[in-house]
């Protein structure tokens, strides 16, 4: 199941996240299936599967639970955008898809600082990683989608 072949993009992202969270570099990852879903290998049991799941696990491991939201509402909103990230942003390849995603995000961010409102969360981090490659040209020129471009402010 969890072959430890070439690390997928999800794995690189999780390593970056580990660094950001200040976690020691000790976790082992594999990938699974054609979509190269990341798998976190643990000492007991089958490990954890999926980018969202592992990312949330790392956040809790680093005791930065506030990154998952504090209220029920924030938590659900974070969950929602993480899901958006793994279903829409991961699956997108065409220019048209990217355009729709940026449009969606722009509408959502019109009256917000971060995806979950006024607090910075894991959703922002993973969305940033996921969109980095398409956002770089936008952020530098500040053209097009002003509210999405704001994400360039993330430290």
Partner 1 sequence: MTSSRRCPVAAMRLRLAPGGPAALKVLAAAGAAAAPVRLEWSCPSELSPPWVPALELESGTVLFSPNAICQFFFLSRGEEPTDLSNQWLEWEVTELEPAASAALYARLVQGRKGLEAVEVLGKLLAHIEQNLARRGTGYLAGDTKSVADVVVWGTLFPVLQDETSLPSELPALKTWFQSMTLSEACRKAADSVLIPRALQEFTSYLQKQPPPCLPVQRTTSNEPEEEEGSERALTEEEITAAASAWARGAAALPKPWQPQKPVLPVEGMRNILITSALPYVNNVPHLGNIIGCVLSADTFARYCRLRNWNTLYVCGTDEYGTATETKALEEGMTPQEICNKYHAIHADIYRWFDISFDYFGRTTTPHQTRIAQDIFKRLLARGFLLEDTVEQLCCESCQRFLADRFVEGTCPFCSYREARGDQCDKCGKLINAVELKSPQCKLCRSVPVVKATRHLFLDLPKLEEQLEPWLEQSLATGDWTPNARYITRSWIRDGLKPRCITRDLKWGTPVPLDGFQDKVFYVWFDAPIGYLSITANYTQHWERWWKNPQQVELYNFMAKDNVPFHSVVFPCSLLGAEDNYTLVNHLIATEYLNYEDGKFSKSRGVGVFGDMAKDTGIPADIWRFYLLYLRPEGQDSAFSWSDLMLKNNSELLNNLGNFINRAGMFVCKFFGGTVPSMVLTLDDKRLLARVTLELRQYHQLLEKVRIRDALRCVLSISRHGNQYIQVNEPWKRIKGDEKDRQRAGTVTGVAVNMAALLAVMVQPYMPSVSSAIQGQLHIPPDCFVLSHDFTCTLPPGHHVGTVSPLFQKLENDQVEALRRRFGGGQAKQNSPASGSPPAPATQVTPGDPQLIQLLTEEVAKQGNHVRQLKANKAEKAQVDAEVAKLLELKKQLALAEGKSPEIPVPKGKSKK
Q: Quick one: which of 24, 34, 43, 95 contacts partner 1 (CB under 8 A)? A: 34
Interface characters, 62-101, with partner 1 (x: CB under 8 A)? --------xxxx-xxx-xx--xx-xx--------------
The nearest distance, CB 37 to partner 1, in angstroms, is 8
Helix axes 72-84, 122-141, angle to 10 degrees: 50
User: Cα–Cα distance between 130 and 18 in angstroms, integer?
Assistant: 16
The structure tokens 């974070």 sit at 78
Say how far residue 115 (Cα) sits from the centre of its chain: 12
Binding residues for partner 1, rule CB under 8 A, total 26
Tally of CB atoms within 10 A around 131: 21
The nearest distance, CB 137 to partner 1, in angstroms, is 26
The nearest distance, CB 51 to partner 1, in angstroms, is 8
Asked if 19 and 29 touch (Cβ cutoff 8 Å), the reply is no
Q: Which residues bind partner 1 (CB under 8 A)?
A: 34-35, 37, 48-53, 56-57, 70-73, 75-77, 79-80, 83-84, 86-87, 107, 117
């Amino acid at each position: 199941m969890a072959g430890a072949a070439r690390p997928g993009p999800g794995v690189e992202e999780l390593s970056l996240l580990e660094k950001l969270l200040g976690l020691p570099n000790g976790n082992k990852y594999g990938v699974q299936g054609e979509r190269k879903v990341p798998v976190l290998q643990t000492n007991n049991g089958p490990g954890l599967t999926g980018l969202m799941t592992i990312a949330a696990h790392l956040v809790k491991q680093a005791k930065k639970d506030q990154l998952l939201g504090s209220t029920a509402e924030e938590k659900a909103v974070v969950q929602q955008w993480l899901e958006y990230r793994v279903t829409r942003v991961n699956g997108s390849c065409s220019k048209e898809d990217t355009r729709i995603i940026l449009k969606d995000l722009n509408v959502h961010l019109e009256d917000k600082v971060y995806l979950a409102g006024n607090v910075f969360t894991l959703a922002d981090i993973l969305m940033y990683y996921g969109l980095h490659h398409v956002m770089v040209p936008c952020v530098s020129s500040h053209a097009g989608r002003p509210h999405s471009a704001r994400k360039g402010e993330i430290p």
